[in-house]
């Protein structure tokens, strides 16, 4: 578990941009009970690639995208342990942090694992997410 003063600015980078923090397993379950439309979920972390490319890439995609997810949600791996563990139960992929998930009507439709984040620039991640948003968030059901 990381000290609060270490993770606070890393959390704020997303929450200041409109992401809702899920802090407990109950918060995660409540979110998924009624999840309609599209939801971008960032599993945030202390990892250098989270700071260097994941968070900036996610934020860049939201600034530039013509269509955006309806909901923005985040959990913090290694800090909000219960919430992160529960979130991972909804994502049928091996645990990965940082990572980025896009859900539509409660179903995972796109997932960016840590190994797809490492070694890529924030701009590359932003461009990738913009294309995904166009495809998933712009498509009417």
Active-site residue list: 47, 49
Q: Report d(CA 82, CA 75) in Å as an integer.
A: 9
Q: What is the 3-state composition of the chain as percent helix, strand, coil, each rounded to the nearest 5? A: 50, 20, 35
Measured torsion, CA atoms of residues 84, 44, 135, 39, in degrees rounded to the nearest 10: 50
């Amino acid at each position: 578990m990381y000290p609060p003063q270490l993770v606070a600015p890393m959390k704020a980078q997303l929450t200041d941009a409109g992401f809702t923090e899920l802090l407990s397993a109950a918060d995660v379950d409540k979110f998924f009970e009624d999840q309609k439309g599209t939801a971008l979920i960032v599993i945030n972390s202390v990892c250098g690639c989270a700071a260097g490319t994941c968070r900036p890439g996610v934020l860049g995609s939201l600034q530039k995208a013509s269509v955006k997810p309806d909901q923005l949600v985040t959990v913090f791996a290694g800090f909000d342990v219960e919430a992160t563990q529960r979130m991972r139960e909804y994502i049928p992929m091996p645990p990965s942090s940082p990572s980025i998930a896009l859900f539509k009507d409660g179903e995972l439709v796109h997932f960016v694992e840590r190994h797809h984040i490492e070694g890529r620039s924030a701009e590359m991640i932003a461009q990738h997410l913009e294309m995904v948003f166009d495809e998933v968030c712009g498509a009417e059901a």
